[in-house]
């Protein structure tokens, strides 16, 4: 014998188990007795009407109707929920808002007609004081701020532009500001201010400023320089005079014989580059990185290399041409271990510079400012230091002792009341008279 479970149409409570006998009428009669109604129709859980006893299987769940059509339980539940939503929106009851969405971790937003689904944690964790976070952060009595109305699908309605909202939502997801080129950053900025995404505002303001920068002031890049090198014949002089190359990475490029006069190379990276016989007169190379570069015969008159790093550079040309760095600004520069034999540094500024272990044979440092300069371990053989400011300069571990003629010493008679040597440069007088190692 087969049996079925009967429920009243539209409910899933108070079910009755009935034996399947010989006819459909007997089942309807049994259902009428058990439910106290006049049973006329039977439906499956999918809404199909049973009109033949042979269609019934063992343990089927059937719904008894008094003649009305089948009532879908899911649709009924959704309708009741939407009615509940409507009543909550009108009453503004925060407790009912919690019931409406239960404990779901996912939220759907209808922004300007476009649906966005995201987690509640995305909206609340990164910017806890933003409007979106306050809309969906839960307090003791429900949401901290009553969310907006919902559409027919239950998504929260927000009357803003979806084009500008999408980059903000992605920023809340991964912490990166990414948007397509065809999107105006000013529109995203307005949305960020509206939703209170404070950490995003400075980034957008900087992006707007950079986008408004005139094209003629934008620095050239490595790609621009490489393209110029490729398209210019080797026999043709390449001119970058007055060009802005600030921050460009020109490492390990062959840049020989190029005219960089008055060029802006601030913060430029030229590690291992070949700048031999380049003209860098009055160029701005402050804080540039030139470690290991080749600078044979380079012309750097009045160039600015303040704070630049030139460790391990080579200035000595075996053919005899000398690098001219007269009046150059090397304040605070690092030239440790560089080969600067024969370099002209007349009246150059090397205050606080690092010249440890440098080769300065026959270098011209006359009138140079070497105050607080570290020359420890350097080779100053035949270097010209006449009139140089050597106040607080470190001269320890010199490879060859300084000759008196190199720093301006003059022999005077003992009867004059001075020591054997009198220093023409008064800065060195006390140190040499006190026993400095000079021949």
pLDDT for the residue 137: 82
CB 94 within 8 A of CB 146: yes
d(CA 120, CA 133): 8
Map tokens 């960020």 to a residue.
192
Regions of the chain where pLDDT drops below 50: 78, 82-83, 85-103, 410-439
CB 395 within 8 A of CB 372: no
DSSP 324: B
Three-state secondary-structure class, residue 294? strand
d(CA 76, CA 78): 5
pLDDT for the residue 7: 87
**β-pairing verdict for 60-65 and 49-50:** unpaired
Containing 193, the helix (H) or strand (E) segment is helix 185-195
- For 315-420, list the strands marked E by DSSP: 409-411
pLDDT for the residue 12: 80
- 120-147 pLDDT, tens digit per residue, is 899 988 888 898 888 888 765 555 566 7
- Domain assignments of the chain as residue spans, ordered by start: 3-71, 76-211
**What single string gives the DSSP state of each residue in 7-74?**
EETT--SS-EEEE--S-HHHHHHHHHHHHTS---EEE-TTSPEE--GGG--TTEEEEEESSSPP--HH
What residues does 279 pair with on adjacent strands?
259, 299
CB 134 within 8 A of CB 142: no
Q: Provide the CATH number for the domain formed by 76-211 in this structure.
A: 3.30.710.10
Q: Which two tokens stand for residue 199?
A: 């950490």
d(CA 229, CA 252): 13
d(CA 13, CA 18): 15
d(CA 179, CA 168): 9
pTM of the entire structure?
0.50
Nearest to 37 by CA among 7, 69, 77: 7
**CATH number among 3.10.450.230, 3.10.20.230, 3.30.428.10, 3.40.50.2300, domain 3-71:** 3.10.20.230
DSSP 416: G
Length of the chain: 439
306 CB neighbour count, 10 Å cutoff = 21
Sheet holding 106-111, edge to edge: 114-119, 106-111, 156-158
């Amino acid at each position: 014998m087969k049996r079925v479970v009967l429920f009243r149409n539209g409910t899933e409570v108070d079910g009755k188990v009935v034996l399947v006998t010989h006819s459909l009428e007997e089942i309807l009669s049994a259902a009428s007795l058990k439910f106290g109604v006049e049973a006329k129709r039977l439906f499956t859980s999918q809404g199909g009407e049973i009109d033949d006893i042979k269609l019934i299987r063992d343990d089927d769940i059937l719904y008894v109707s008094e003649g009305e059509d089948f009532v879908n339980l899911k649709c009924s539940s959704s309708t009741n929920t939407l009615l509940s939503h409507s009543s909550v929106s009108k009453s503004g009851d925060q407790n009912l808002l919690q019931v409406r969405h239960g404990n779901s971790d996912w939220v759907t937003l209808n922004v300007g007609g476009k649906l966005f689904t995201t987690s509640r944690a995305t909206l609340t964790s990164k910017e806890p004081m933003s409007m979106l976070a306050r809309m969906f952060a839960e307090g003791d009595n429900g949401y901290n701020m009553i969310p907006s109305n919902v559409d027919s699908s239950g998504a929260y309605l927000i009357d803003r532009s979806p084009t500008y909202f999408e980059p903000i939502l992605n920023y809340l997801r991964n912490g990166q500001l990414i948007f397509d080129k065809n999107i105006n950053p000013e529109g995203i900025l307005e949305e960020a201010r509206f939703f209170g995404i404070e950490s995003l505002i400075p980034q957008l303001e900087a992006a707007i400023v950079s986008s408004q920068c005139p094209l003629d002031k934008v620095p050239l890049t490595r790609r621009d320089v490489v393209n110029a090198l490729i398209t210019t014949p080797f026999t043709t002089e390449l001119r970058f005079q007055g060009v802005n190359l600030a921050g460009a990475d020109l490492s390990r490029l062959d840049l020989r014989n190029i005219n960089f006069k008055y060029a802006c190379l601030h913060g430029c990276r030229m590690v291992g580059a070949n700048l031999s016989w380049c003209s860098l007169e009055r160029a701005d190379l402050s804080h540039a990185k030139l470690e290991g570069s080749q600078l044979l015969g380079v012309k750097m008159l009045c160039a600015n290399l303040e704070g630049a790093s030139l460790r391990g550079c080579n200035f000595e040309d075996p053919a005899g041409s000398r690098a001219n760095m007269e009046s150059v600004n090397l304040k605070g520069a690092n030239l440790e271990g560089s080969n600067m034999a024969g370099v002209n540094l007349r009246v150059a500024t090397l205050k606080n510079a690092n010249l440890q272990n440098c080769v300065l044979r026959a270098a011209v440092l006359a009138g140079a400012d070497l105050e607080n300069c570290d020359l420890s371990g350097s080779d100053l053989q035949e270097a010209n230091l006449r009139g140089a400011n050597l106040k607080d300069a470190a001269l320890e571990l010199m490879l060859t002792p300084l000759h008196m003629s190199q720093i301006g010493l003059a022999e005077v008679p003992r009867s004059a009341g001075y020591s054997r040597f009198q220093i023409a440069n008064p800065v060195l007088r006390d140190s040499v008279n006190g026993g400095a190692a000079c021949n």
